[in-house]
Structure formats: structure tokens, C-alpha cells
Amino acid sequence: MIEKRPLGKTGIDVTSICLGTMTWGEQNNEAEAHEQLSYACDERGINFIDTAELYPVPPKADTQGTTEQYIGSWLNERGRRDDLVIATKACGPGEWIKYFRGGPRHTKAHLHEAINASLDRLQTDYVDLYQLHWPDRSTNFFGRLGYNHVDGTDETPIDEILKALESLVANGKVRAIGLSNETPWGVMTFLEIARLEGLPVVASIQNPYSLLNRTFEIGLAEVSHRESVGLLAYSPLAFGVLSGKYLGGNRPEGARLTIFDRFSRYSNLEATHATEAYAALAAKHGLSLTEMALAFVTSRPFVTSNIIGATSINQLKENIDTHDLRLSDEVLDGIEVIHVSQPNPSP
């Protein structure tokens, strides 16, 4: 059985492995999405599914929402909605996604329109976890290092955002709320305002976390522990780089980095050197790089769930099979040696 962990203080328990979906509608068709859902949920016991109104990735106006539609058609066929925990996300602002509501924001009007559209596509009356996909303010996320404050930028005040989310909870469309691509200041401010004003308290934070990007540990891990805002770790295989399939300059047919050269975050020179070192360490201990990379993420005490994604059933099976793998102290020590020598090459 796959371990279940509490989602903050919501009373909701989620499996330590979460089924990621962002390739559905781009690299995977509807039948393949349904196959993955049935295998993960009905054969392997995963109860947690994560999606977003933005998906599939890379985001495009003509495919937007397809991922939620595939989940919805599967839900409609399967039934038994209440044994699943379904999470989705609302876009933050950005000139590159003006096709969302003329430019998405986290205002009450935008969030109500967004959740209603997501619920229609998902063919459900509610989502268990509703997340803000990225902040409604200028800050550092999506690999941006350093913080440069910009005066006069338009941003939705956090108390207004929380009041908007409260209205979604009150009308039964959302059970719990979460953040994504957030900073320590952001999480703590959401928590402080919620407690002062009696508004919903965030239950989780969905940020990148992998052997190539452990920046979460610098400020957010302590927040997760002390405030019960656990990490939903995305890109634990660093866009597939930590499967080892791109080593030696390989570009397998149909693989994400082969199809989409825009995704270079995890394939810079430093990341490649680190990946080679991690692959050697895994091989030394009789592990695949995928096994070591995923088991490391799932084992971290601040992780609520490890969001895995796959484009084939074989990949999905291998990923899920790591749920109970425990790395030895020798392997963990070896990981730290590499991390110190090549810290966070893909922030």
C-alpha cells in the first residue's frame, strides 16, 4: 500500500505519490490519459491527482484546458469521485497568457470564473485542493534568481485573494487551498493574514524540488515543518533529465526535451555534470537514477506528496514502484557530497 500523509491540517489524507498530468493533451491523448488514471488510481491505489487550468504544457491557447477535460471524461465514466483527491490551479498574471480572461489575476471575479470553468471541464462539483499557480505579484519564481523589487506594479492584495478563496470554500466548490511557485515571504504572509482575519489557511505549497534543485530547503522547508504547509514536489525528475535518458547528449524520439527545446532549465552544463555524478552513484548501489531521484524526494520530511508524471505506462509503473524504496545512509551521504560540489544547478 502506498503511504498516505496529511494535507496540512485539512483532515484530508493524500498518497505520498501524486499523479501529475501536464503532458495530457500534448504528448498524451485522451485514451492514454485514461489508461494512466485507471492504472495509478484503481490498480496502484494512488488517490491524489494534480492538474491546472493552464495544462497541457507547453501552454497554448488552442490546447488550454484539455488536460482537465481528459480527467473529467474519465471521472464521468468511472464514478466514485469521493475516493479521490483532485487538485487544480488558477493562473497568475503574465503577458504570455492573455488568452485567459484577458489577462489572469487572483481577484474574486477571475477566481470565480476560473474555478467554474475548471469544474465544468473536470465534470465535478468541487475540487479538493485549489492552488494559485504562481503569485499575483512581481517576485522570483520559475527559475528566476534574486529579488529585485519593482515599485508601482499592479498586484492583488493578499487579503483580497484570501477573501476570494474563502468565498469558493463557503459555496462548496473548494475544500482546501494551496500555493504554488511561492516564496517564504509569500507563504508566511498568506498564513499571517489568514489567522488575523479568520480566512482559509493554506494547506500546501507546490514548488520544484529534485536532486538538481533543492532551493526549497533554504527557506521554505522550515516553513513547511513549523506551519504544516507541506511540499507537493513538482519536476522531481527534472523534466526527465534525472531518468538519465539524455546522458551522453542523447535525445530520444518523443521525449520532452527532444520535442520542446525551450525547456533548458535542467540541461545546462552544471546540471549535466551533476546528473552524471548522480547516475554513477545510483549505479554503484544497484539503483536506477530514476529510483534514486524519486526515492530521495519522497523521503524528505517536509514533502507531503511527490508529483510524478509519465508519457507511458512503463514509465508510470517505474515511478510508482519507488514509493516504498528507502535509500541507505551510504547513498544519502553520497548524494550530499555531490550536492555540495554542484549545489542547485537548476534553480
List, by residue number, the catalytic residues.
Answer: 55
CB atoms within 10 A of CB 284: 11
Contact 162, 199 (CB under 8 A): yes
Choose among 287, 265, 284: nearest CA to 337: 284
The CB density around residue 198, as the number of other CB atoms within 10 Å, is: 9
- d(CA 34, CA 73) in angstroms, rounded, equals 8
Amino acid code (one letter) for 80: R
How far apart are alpha carbons 284 and 276 in whole angstroms? 12
Beta carbons within 10 angstroms of residue 327's beta carbon: 19
Q: What is the CA radius of gyration of the chain?
A: 19
For residue 187, give the nearest of 225, 151, 155 by alpha carbon: 225
Q: Alpha carbon 40 to chain centroid distance? A: 17
5: which strand partners?
14
CA distance 212 to 293: 9
The candidate with the shortest Cα–Cα distance to 28, out of 257, 255, 311, 235, is 311
